């Protein structure tokens, strides 16, 4: 089964927070994981915030960023998604970045996995299967 994971899920692999246990379960090898290539930037921003708040050390953050470039998540270029993502955001709401995850899931006949209630709602409006990890 194909899953598109967003940054709100990926950060749960790094920072122990609500939903981390469920997020870690999708790393067990049963799923092919995909994301737009800007996932690393979004997670990087979240890692820096976690370091500033004292939840992670800079070394732990650097190790986590290295793991994101591992082959367990296939990153797809946002350039191939942007026009459809823009149209989806205009039609159904939410941000263009959220819509890029949803568009990728639609293109791959995959399910979006998110911890973001707004993204979940937009995915449902767009008739894309979505799973909430909270």
Model confidence pLDDT, tens digit, residues 50-100: 999 999 999 999 988 887 776 689 999 999 999 999 999 999 999 999 999
pLDDT, averaged across the chain: 94
In the chain, the domains with their CATH numbers are: 2-39+72-132 (3.40.50.1010)
* Phi and psi, residue 2, nearest 5°: -95, 135
When mean pLDDT is compared across 6-10, 33-37, 61-65, 105-109, the lowest value belongs to 61-65
Residue 30, C-beta contacts closer than 8 angstroms, at least 6 positions apart:
1
Q: What is the rounded CA–CA span in Å between residue 124 and residue 49?
A: 30
């Amino acid at each position: 089964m194909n899953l598109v994971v967003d940054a709100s899920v990926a950060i749960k692999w790094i920072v122990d927070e609500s939903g981390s246990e469920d997020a870690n379960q999708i790393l067990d090898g049963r799923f092919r994981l995909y994301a737009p290539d800007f996932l690393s930037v979004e997670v990087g921003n979240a890692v820096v915030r976690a370091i500033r708040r004292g939840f992670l050390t800079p070394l732990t953050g650097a190790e986590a960023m290295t793991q994101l470039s591992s082959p367990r998540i296939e990153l797809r270029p946002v350039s191939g998604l942007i026009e459809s993502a823009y149209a989806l955001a205009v039609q159904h709401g939410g941000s263009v970045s959220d819509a890029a995850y949803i568009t990728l899931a639609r293109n791959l006949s995959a399910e979006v996995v998110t911890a973001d209630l707004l993204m979940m709602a937009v995915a449902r409006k767009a008739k894309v299967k979505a799973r909430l990890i909270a």
